[in-house]
Amino acid sequence: MSENVKIAVKDLNIIFGKHQKEAKKLIAQGVSKTEILKKTNCTVAVTEANFDIKDGEIFVVMGLSGSGKSTLIRALNRLLEPSSGQVILDGADVLQANNEELREIRRKKYGMVFQHFGLLPHRTVASNAAFGLEIQGTPEEERIKKAYEILKIVGLEGYEEKMTGELSGGMQQRVGLARALANEPEVLLMDEAFSALDPLIRGNMQDELLNLQESLKKTIVFITHDLDEALKLGDRIAILNDGKIVQIGTPEEILTEPADEYVRTFVENVNRANIVTAQTIMFEKPTRIELKREGAEVTLRKMRNTGLSVLPVVDENNKFIGFVFDDDVVKIRGDKSKSIRDIIYEYSASVYLETPASDIIAAYRDSSIPIAVVDENGKLKGVVMHSAVVSEIIGKDENEIRTDIKNALEI
């Protein structure tokens, strides 16, 4: 286990019902949830969850309703009592804490934001934001001062003395966020925090959360049913299906290497273009022409070997210069007065490794000319073909596209 693990969840099972022992046995035997419900009258919410949450990352748990994601986040601060397993926060098992220790953990280490805000309607914004501190017994003057500071950070300056009922949903959730941040928690638990907001506000809140996180560097556990939200916010994403974690990975890993059919069908509908980057879809170590050393003959041989009609040209430091086309090479073949330099096509755009596919497609002037992928020093890292970008965006692989095109031509 690396040092920067903040929360380690081990073998966590959450079962609701009276006959938990029998249910657990059945889980071990691999019996399905519905069978267990029939046999023991126990609802299995989460089975055998194992994952580490790293310090300072946004860890997203994504799943549809009924997948057990809200149950899972509630096990982290024991709003729901897990049936077995461990939740190790900073090296100590939260599940072993007694009532007093648990309260202390909830007061000092965790801050939580709820889907429906959970604010006190009979209190002012500032008083709500200071609620966590009030519970801890912080003197009134001090906690209100702190609340004002935090409210300023979340963009609610000037609303401190309003009643929460007078605010819009987005603003209420800012109060919820301020309340969670006011007691300076180490871990922020966000349970579908933005799901009750309308799409435009939700997008804004996501952006702001990312902005805040840049300065706060909290460990954030974010629950959502929205894959786009998960991909946008998550440093890593855990996908939960039917109480089981089916995959944990970076957004890109989830999209490009779905672990099973469930994840695959899930990511199919996503706008992949915003997430998949040049690095994933490029040809790595492409055949290239080094300008100083290689002439027309070598170029033509390389083209023949690779079957490509266009190749990238680099200088002696592997710095990308442009592309050469087979037609042009043939024209200067045998002409001693001309070199490759004269026929390089330099107008093609180049992109960086982390450029998303949606931006790459915009960089194309001509679908027959590939785009070079370079690092920050301009060195050639790979080449992206037009077809690869298109296939990423529409979510089919290249072979499928080729067949589609062939079929279209035959018709």
Contacts (CB under 8 A) with another protein, residues 313-352: none
- Give whole-number Cα distances, 184 to 58, 116, 325, in Å: 17, 22, 60
Nearer to another protein, 162 or 319 (CB): 162
Site string for another protein, 68-97 (x = CB under 8 A): ---------x-x------------------
Span interacting with another protein, options 6-14, 117-125, 333-341, 362-370, rule CB under 8 A: 117-125
- Give least dist CB 93 to another protein, A: 18
- Give least dist CB 195 to another protein, A: 13
Say if CB 246 and CB 259 are below 8 A apart. Answer: yes
Contacts (CB under 8 A) with another protein, residues 186-205: 189
- SS3 (DSSP) at 18: coil
Long-range contacts of 380-383 (CB under 8 A, 24+ apart): 380/286, 380/288, 380/312, 380/314, 380/318, 380/319, 380/320, 381/279, 381/282, 381/284, 381/353, 382/278, 382/279, 382/282, 382/283, 382/284, 382/285, 382/286, 383/282, 383/283, 383/286, 383/312
Residue 103 as a binder of another protein (CB under 8 A): the answer is yes
Can you spell out the DSSP letters for 324-377? Answer: EEHHHHHHHTT-TT--HHHH-B----EEETT-BHHHHHHH-S-TTS-EEEE-TT
Nearer to another protein, 99 or 407 (CB): 99
Nearer to another protein, 64 or 135 (CB): 135
- Give least dist CB 123 to another protein, A: 8
Contacting another protein (CB under 8 A), which of 52, 134, 160, 242? 134
Contacting another protein (CB under 8 A), which of 136, 256, 279, 358? 136
Say if CB 9 and CB 50 are below 8 A apart. Answer: yes
- Give least dist CB 237 to another protein, A: 23
**Which positions touch another protein (CB under 8 A)?**
77, 79, 103-107, 110-112, 114-122, 131-132, 134-136, 179, 183, 189
